[in-house]
Amino acid sequence: MNDNQAHVPTYDNIAYQHDEVRPPPYNQQQSIYPTLPHQTPSYVATTPSPINIHQTVTPGIPQNTGQTKGRKKCHGKIILCASLCVLLVLAVIALLLWYFLYYQCLLGRLCRTGGKCLSVSQWCDGVKDCTHGEDEAQCFRLRGTNFLLESFSSDNQKWMPVCAENWDNNYGRAVCEHIGYKRTDYVSSTQTNAGSVASDGYMKLKSESNHGSHIQSQLMHSKSCSVRAVRLKCIECGESSAAPSSRIVGGTEAVNGAWPWQVSLQFYGQHACGGSIISPEWILSAAHCFQDDYSYPASWRVYSGDVSLIRMSLGGSKTVHKIITHEKFDTLTNDNDIALLKLSSPLTFSNTVRPVCLPNIDVVLSAERQAWITGWGALRSSGSSPDKMNQAQVTIYKRETCNTPQVLDGQVSETMICAGKLEGGVDSCQGDSGGPLVVKEGNVWWLAGDTSWGIGCAWRNKPGVYGNVTYFIDWVYTQMQNE
């Protein structure tokens, strides 16, 4: 946390810093963030760049000289050129057909591996048709602050609430495990009002359903539901045992229990980055913390449960089994700056060690919201980390505001959130990287962002930039499912 003016642009990770060159501006239309990226499950692999037809140069046709000898030569060249043109056109047509029919899979969706094209009705039908099962990987999601369970209907190609008829905790555990949580994390399945979300009907258990079958294959579309919809809690998250000060101006010291999901990620015994607990086995942080020499899991330890680095060092720590950085992380622009750490053994939850909630669909974490940042970052640019965790309240700004020339000049992409104080004085700084940006909604705390980068610390018109966790939510659950 920082409330002083610095002298040079800098990135936030005390362990790993890029060359201090501002990334190039983005030439794209901006929108209010965070965006909600999924309307239907997203499985299709990224397609290659479109063919640039302007890169093809057609051989020229020599002009008529008026001489017989010359005309014979020119005629031969015309035939050769015409043949080449025909072959070239055929090659382009074949390439375009391959691109659209194979890669785009116009009549369905393409498995990420193997090139298998499935019809839309095969996605989320309870049968794993793709080699790695991605067609059945993201068929459930939670909506809103009441954790309404939705299932994707392969017949209607829509997300629909799940009816609570014949539903029990065994089905709830199966769905939570499908989403990416462990059965041991499970909390409860209760009922809630679906409201207008049920305008197209429900997904309901078939009469012959049993706990031994694949849960998705046991659901069918129904126009009505005799009871309410399923409210599913896969993990007890977003609760703190102490409230932060409501009169925050700059960074102040936090108290134990206020931010129980905050962890210190230490590289060979030195605090380097922050992170957020999202389950007993998973920590969410920033990809730029784990580049080059910092990419080896054995070099890292995870400390939790206290606001004091010294006191935490006297207790136990967790080793890291695996570090997963986003495959499209860009070291120049900091696009896709998100990472997951899988611990070698699970954390034991307490009043001071708890997970934060990952954002559900339709949880409003939009611009002009008040949010909180926490961490052991430097109190001034290039300064040392304090012993006590600091906290500060910031404002989430519209992407249009962040990308104006006088602020961050087009550098904030859809994978990022911009938050701070335009007047300066409150910001994250070196050592805060990977730590949480959280928003309270529906009486629980949601993880809106992970600390990514900034120009200086607490400069006027230079708010901090955070990874947009809502944008990455499918990616996060996919990694949790695969491990």
User: Is 214 in the active site?
Assistant: no
- Find the catalytic residue in 178, 271, 288, 326: 288
State the residue for tokens 């936090």. Answer: 254
User: Is 433 in the active site?
Assistant: yes
Yes or no: say if 467 and 440 are a contact pair by the CB < 8 Å rule: no
Instruction: Give the separation between CA 200 and CA 223, rounded to whole angstroms.
Output: 7
* CB proximity list for 345: less than 8 A, separation 6 or greater: 318, 319
Instruction: Give the separation between CA 60 and CA 49, rounded to whole angstroms.
Output: 28
Distance of CA 124 to the CA centre of its chain: 22
Compute CA distances 246 → 74, 249, 424, whole Å. 85, 9, 19
User: Is 288 in the active site?
Assistant: yes
N- to C-terminal Cα distance for the chain? 34
Q: Which of 292, 291, 276 is nearest to 347 (CA)?
A: 276
| Token pair of 392 as six digits | 């500060």
* CB proximity list for 154: less than 8 A, separation 6 or greater: 120, 121, 122, 123, 124, 125
Element (H, E) at 477: helix 473-482
Look up residue 443 and give its amino acid.
N
Residues for the chain: how many in total? 483
Q: Which of 456, 369, 366 is nearest to 408 (CA)?
A: 456
- Find the catalytic residue in 189, 264, 433, 452: 433
Q: Is the Cα dihedral 452, 454, 456, 459 positive or negative?
A: negative
- Find the catalytic residue in 12, 135, 185, 337: 337
Return the DSSP state at 90: H
3-class DSSP assignment, residue 465: strand
- What are the catalytic residues? 288, 337, 433
